[in-house]
DNA sequence: CTGCCGGTATGATCTGGATCATAATGAAGC
DNA sequence: GCTTCATTATGATCCAGATCATACCGGCAG
């Protein structure tokens, strides 16, 4: 694993020069996690910056009644938990691997000084945090959308935009493939409904609707219908 | 209105020295709004940083079905909309005055340069953003809490913490007074229910429950009961 | 004074999704 | 192979809160 190459892929570092990055290389540690592994837990002290290199993770808050609220799903090229690390506070939520995941970690102390001495990096982080902020506002907006079906459609529209790949459906038409290993349970948490409800919706969509469940992902067979569902006010 | 004094009240500037702040003073503009006035609208371009000096405002997103989702309520000493301004994007939500409000505005360009040249200010903003971030996560967590009554209790607990004032109830016991002019409709939007539901809950609480509605605020007559309601899992 | 309007109040009905229950699938380990 | 456990599936019932409808109150314009 070429650490430098991996780092370069991260948007956060794309404008940072070699001289700044080189001395840090040795401090970075590559870690791997399997599906279901906890990358960190809510409440534990944030000591390392974490960069997702490969795979997807979810950031979630667990309530005392056992249910969880997913704050976001993050994939390759994303920085997670830096908010807590930078602020030297405990993680406000847990991070769990949704599939096999590779991350780069660097100890807070080894990175903090560099950040402060590198305005470009500070700016990049600030920008990143604002984007995260915007995403949270968006998400807040989403979870309050009235019907469960609408929220689910919205969710898939978002995935489609961020990680969709056009694929032929065989009958001459085109669909969008989303490679993300989300169980019905994961989906239910993302749209804030019970598992059964998510299952019912996906079952319906699997036979008549606009989405088909694949081996480890989903195919949107009719993007237009999906969009219409997500927008139907009511 | 002494601009410098107003600025000093803002947490964002408390550690910034006079020399840095002085040259900026002339660029600040004081603006006043009445209850219901729009301070900015979702979608419009963010050109000015806005600091709330007096009064409270709400940041809300209006859905195409006419309903609104309140993202937050901000009072004196708070910075609003800076995320959009800093990022040079359109406001992701609208800002509306909840009562008579005084704000300080400064043009993006006049402030931006100073930020970049003043690490302490950049740090302060970064810190502020993280706090905002944390608050959003908290809010996301809140709106997904099951029952409406619980959410309402939670809301008042939060207000109580941030702006409550201990007051005697007359019968020897103590309550907490919250001076914030929220209508039933405002409350309903904050906890994401219909107006009627908010009215029913407040009516109930007014007679038997832990909260009394005042002229332009609320009195929590029994903080313990309120806390218990907010925590009851179910 | 009267009519209008926004906020408050309350009752009657409807419904989406939670909840409970039961079962079929399917991968993982022995 | 068989057993175990998680996931998917589907049906039956229940309820918080939406929705609809009606009414009261206080301020304000004419």
Q: Closest nucleotide (CA of B182 to C1')?
A: C7
Residue A172 or residue A12, greater confidence = A172
Q: Closest nucleotide (CA of A197 to C1')?
A: C17
Count of C-beta atoms within a 10 Å radius of residue A99: 18
Cβ–Cβ of B122/A126 closer than 8 Å? yes
Res. A1: pLDDT tops 60: no
Structure tokens that stand for A193 in this block: 């409904």
| Cα–Cα separations (whole angstroms), residue A9 to A2, A14, A39, B90 | 11, 7, 21, 28
Give the contacts of A63 (CB within 8 A, at least 6 positions apart): A69, B141, B145, B233
Rounded to two decimals, what is the model's pTM?
0.74
Structure tokens that stand for A29 in this block: 């540690």
Distance CA B40, CA B61 (A): 12
User: For residue B105, what is the DSSP state?
Assistant: E
- pLDDT tens-digit readout, B93-149: 888 888 888 888 888 878 777 777 777 777 777 777 777 777 887 888 787 777 899
Cβ–Cβ of B140/A138 closer than 8 Å? no
Structure tokens that stand for A75 in this block: 């994939």
- pLDDT tens-digit readout, B21-75: 777 788 888 888 888 888 888 888 888 888 888 888 888 887 666 667 777 788 7
Res. B234: pLDDT tops 60: no
Structure tokens that stand for A185 in this block: 């349970």
| Cα–Cα separations (whole angstroms), residue A180 to A32, A221, B169 | 18, 16, 57
Give which of B33, B40, B12, B38 is closest to B24, Cα–Cα. B12
Distance in Å, residue B222 CA to nucleotide C4 C1'? 39
Q: Testing the interface with B: which of A89, A130, A142, A191 to mutate, by most B Cβ within 10 A? A: A130
3-state SS, one letter per residue, for chain A: CCHHHHHHHCHHHCCCCHHHHHHHHHHCEEEEECCCCEEECCCCECCEEEEEEECCEEEEEECCCCCEEEEEEECCCEEECHHHHHHCCECCCEEEECCCEEEEEEEHHHHHHHHHHCHHHHHHHHHHHHHHHHHHHHHHHHHCCCCHHHHHHHHHHHHHHHHEEEEECCCCCEEEEECCCCCHHHHHHHCCCCHHHHHHHHHHHHHCCCEEEECCEEEECCHHHHHHHHHCCC
Give the per-residue pLDDT at B99: 81
Res. A233: pLDDT tops 60: no
Can you tell me whether residue B212 is helix, strand or coil?
strand
Distance of residue A60 Cα from the nearest chain B Cα, in angstroms = 10
Task: Dump the DSSP string for B9-70.
Answer: HSGGGTTS-HHHHGGGGGG-EEEEE-TT-EEE-TTSB--EEEEEEES-EEEEEE-TTS-EEE
Structure tokens that stand for B143 in this block: 């709106």
Distance of residue B31 Cα from the nearest chain A Cα, in angstroms = 26
| Cα–Cα separations (whole angstroms), residue A38 to A57, A65, A99, A100, B99 | 10, 19, 11, 12, 46
- CA geometry: angle A124, A180, A126, nearest 5 deg: 10
Distance in Å, residue A191 CA to nucleotide C16 C1'? 15
Distance of residue B128 Cα from the nearest chain A Cα, in angstroms = 10
Cβ–Cβ of A129/B129 closer than 8 Å? yes
- pLDDT tens-digit readout, B69-107: 777 788 776 778 777 776 778 888 888 888 888 888 888
Give the per-residue pLDDT at A234: 46
Distance CA B29, CA B50 (A): 10
């Amino acid at each position: 694993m070429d650490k430098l190459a991996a780092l370069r892929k991260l948007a956060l570092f794309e404008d940072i020069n070699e001289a700044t990055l080189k001395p840090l290389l040795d401090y970075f540690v590559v870690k791997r996690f399997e599906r279901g592994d906890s990358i960190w837990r809510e409440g534990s002290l944030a000591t390392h910056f974490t960069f997702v290199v490969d795979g997807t993770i979810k950031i979630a808050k667990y309530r005392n009644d056992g249910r969880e609220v997913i704050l976001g799903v993050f994939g390759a090229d994303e920085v997670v938990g830096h908010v807590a690390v930078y602020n030297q506070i405990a993680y406000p939520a847990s991070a769990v691997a949704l599939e096999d995941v590779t991350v780069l970690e660097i100890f807070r102390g080894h990175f903090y000084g560099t950040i402060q001495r590198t305005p470009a990096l500070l700016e990049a982080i600030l920008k990143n945090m604002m984007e995260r902020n915007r995403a949270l506002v968006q998400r807040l907006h989403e979870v309050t959308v009235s019907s469960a079906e609408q929220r689910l459609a919205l969710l898939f529209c978002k995935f489609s935009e961020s990680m969709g790949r056009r694929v032929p459906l065989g009958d001459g038409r085109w669909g969008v493939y989303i490679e993300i290993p989300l169980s019905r349970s994961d989906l239910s948490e993302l749209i804030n409904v019970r598992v059964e409800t998510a299952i019912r919706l996906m079952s319906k969509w699997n036979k008549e609707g606009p989405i088909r469940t694949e081996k480890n992902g989903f195919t949107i067979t009719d993007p237009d219908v999906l969009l219409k569902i997500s927008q139907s006010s009511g």
